[in-house]
Chains A and B, each alone.
Chain A
Amino acid sequence: MGVPTLFAARLRQHALSANAPPAIAIPDREFGYGEVVEAVENCAHWLIRRGCVRSEIVGITVSDEHRHMVVSLALLYLGIPQVCLPTHDPEAMRRSLVQRLSVRRVIVAEPQHAVAGTETLLLTREILSARDAHAAPQALDADPDVPAIYLTGSGTTGEYKIFSMSQQAVVWRSARMVESEAVPPDYRVLMPVSVEHPPAKTKRLNTFYLGFTSAFQPGPGPRIVLPELCASLRVTCVDMGVLHAESAVRNASRENRFPAGTTVYVSGSRVSAQLRRAFEQRFGKKLHVHYGAREFGRISTTWLGDADDALESVGTPAPWVAFGIVDGEGTALPAGAIGELRVRAECMSHEYFGDPVATARHFRDGWYYPGDLASLTRDGILCVHGRADDMMILNSIKIFPAEIERVLEAHPGVKAAAAFAKPSRAHGDIPLAAVELHESAAVAAEELMACVRERLGVRAPRRIIVVDALPRNAVGKILKNELIDLLEREG
């Protein structure tokens, strides 16, 4: 039997297979693909009865992983486009997405998440278990190449950038996941990041498509300890953000270790040399850094032998990724030179929905420009030096935030650092930095200034502020705009 490009056919294939592993593992319970497909089909019936059609995008505001994935799969099953309107966003942001995408129906698990001006479809647990007398929905005629999921792009401030993925694109990424992670047959993946975050959702979809096991976290309750959860759910792969990795390092103990067969991937934002070192000291050589973009998928991964932790490298680009490091005119730069990264692959996105300005900035001449500054070592290893938008030009001197952050984080008292610019009419960008210290550390900003000045000279930040905690989003990305606001308030 061939490999279908539609989720409906593929899920049924898994459900009928005698060798399929469980689809979902939660503490004390596993769900087979047969059970999941039944819930998906029940949900699909309900969606049809509630008037959902292929010509209209349906919103999902459900934070519970299990229910979110079932309803998401049901929409894919039916070929009805979907968009996640995250519960963690204020209603105004969800309403903005609703308006931009002309969403008329929103599926919620909690009535308070209803969005004004839309029809609310309340998804109860009973809906997923209510058998329907009608035959399973005929969903095998969906077009695999039309937009199936609308996702929000990277970017920590302002309006979301929206892009879409077809079922075909999800399937393509699934196949690349198998190649890039050397996925074993007993693959079980745990993602501690909420399913409402686009990378977490696409990875879960990939796992379902491939017929592997998604390990879900228990619902609200006592704080979970990741290594413990991995051991109890027999997880072979954890894909997490920097915050979770930091927390695993902090809570590490002799008893609290990741199982021997568990591989850990960290992605979502810069993975500092300090974190890589600390993780290796606590757990051994387990951590791999994934670098990619929501709009594009995986670009590179660090493996043993191609990771230079001091340089905070992000590994060798995957074989299916065409890439280049170019200057402002699009001319390729030699090894070692820092320029803007551009990438190209078979099934990447090509535009932002309803946003020609962002499309023109990031999608040019068939390339996707993630907006990152990067360089390539002579051995072909990629190093990322921060966002192109974050690059500072102080009186014609180019300064990269990452170089400042690395020097500050090399200080034993500094836990994390963020460099950013204060715009100046006369000088361009004045580099500044904020640092978060280790709990027991008592380091004055003046000491850090002297240290960084000695290492970076004219490229050093002109002011360093010590903060209790750097402001971060849910996946651990530092919100630099908030630091600029903080500095303005401090005067």
Chain B
Amino acid sequence: MSDPRSKDASPRVAIVEALRVGAPGALTEETRRAFLDTGMNIVLAELGMDSLGEMEFCIAIELKTGVTLLPAELAELKSTDAVERRIRERLDEAARSGAGTPR
């Protein structure tokens, strides 16, 4: 597990907020805090998100970060750390290309 202090918190905040709508009830308040404070990694399959939940998760990520994620990508990404990496990659790509909205 990497040092959470080296991470910019905003994608993680976006992820934990998106999980609140994508997998309602799956995260306790304690887990949410741990996710933000300790850099905890969560395996997406353990959250029991259905297809509707995955859609809501992706929409929430898009609204909070501007990064478009497709529900189909989640199967490939598998964990919150991987989702975070994907968001950061796309934010970096957008910054490099000077585009306003990351893809």
Contact = CB atoms under 8 A, between A and B. Distances in A.
A158 B90 CA distance: 33
Contact of B63 (A395, A422, A425): A422
A236 B63 CA distance: 51
Interface in A449-491: 458, 462-463
Interface in A394-416: 395
Interface in B34-62: 52, 55-56, 58-60, 62
B103 A425 contact: yes
A426 B63 contact: no
A427 interface: yes
Contacts of A426: 58, 62, 68-70
A273 to B, nearest CB: 28
A241 to B, nearest CB: 33
B55 A430 contact: no
A488 to B, nearest CB: 9
Nearest to A426: B68
Sort chain B's interface into a size bin: 10 to 19
Given A425-B68, A426-B68, A463 B63 contact: yes
A425 B62 CA distance: 10
Interface in B52-103: 52, 55-56, 58-60, 62-63, 68-70, 103
Contacts of B59: 424, 427, 430, 462
Interface string A420-447: 0010111100100000000000000000
A195 B103 CA distance: 48
A395 B103 contact: no
Contacts of B60: 462
Given A426-B68, A426-B70, A462 B63 contact: yes
Contacts of B52: 458
Contact of B62 (A395, A424, A458): A424
B23 to A, nearest CB: 15
B47 to A, nearest CB: 19
Contacts of B68: 424-426
B63 A427 contact: no
Contacts of B62: 424, 426-427, 430
Contacts of A422: 63
Contacts of A463: 63
Nearest to A423: B101
A232 to B, nearest CB: 52
Interface string A368-380: 0000000000000
Q: Which of A426, A458, A463 has the most CB of B within 10 A?
A: A426
Contacts of B56: 462
A430 B69 CA distance: 14
B78 to A, nearest CB: 19
A206 to B, nearest CB: 48
Contacts of A425: 68, 103
A426 B59 CA distance: 9
A362 to B, nearest CB: 31
A259 to B, nearest CB: 51
A427 B67 CA distance: 12
Nearest to B62: A424
Nearest to B71: A426
20 contacts: A395-B55, A422-B63, A424-B59, A424-B62, A425-B103, A426-B58, A426-B62, A426-B68, A427-B55, A427-B58, A430-B59, A430-B62, A430-B63, A458-B52, A462-B21, A462-B56, A462-B59, A462-B60, A462-B63, A463-B63
Complex A-B, nearest 10 residue pairs according to Cβ-Cβ distance, in ascending order: A426-B68, A425-B68, A426-B70, A462-B59, A430-B59, A463-B63, A427-B59, A424-B62, A462-B63, A395-B55
Given A424-B59, A426-B62, 15 more contacts: A424-B68, A425-B68, A425-B103, A426-B69, A426-B70, A427-B55, A427-B59, A427-B62, A430-B59, A430-B63, A462-B21, A462-B56, A462-B59, A462-B63, A463-B63
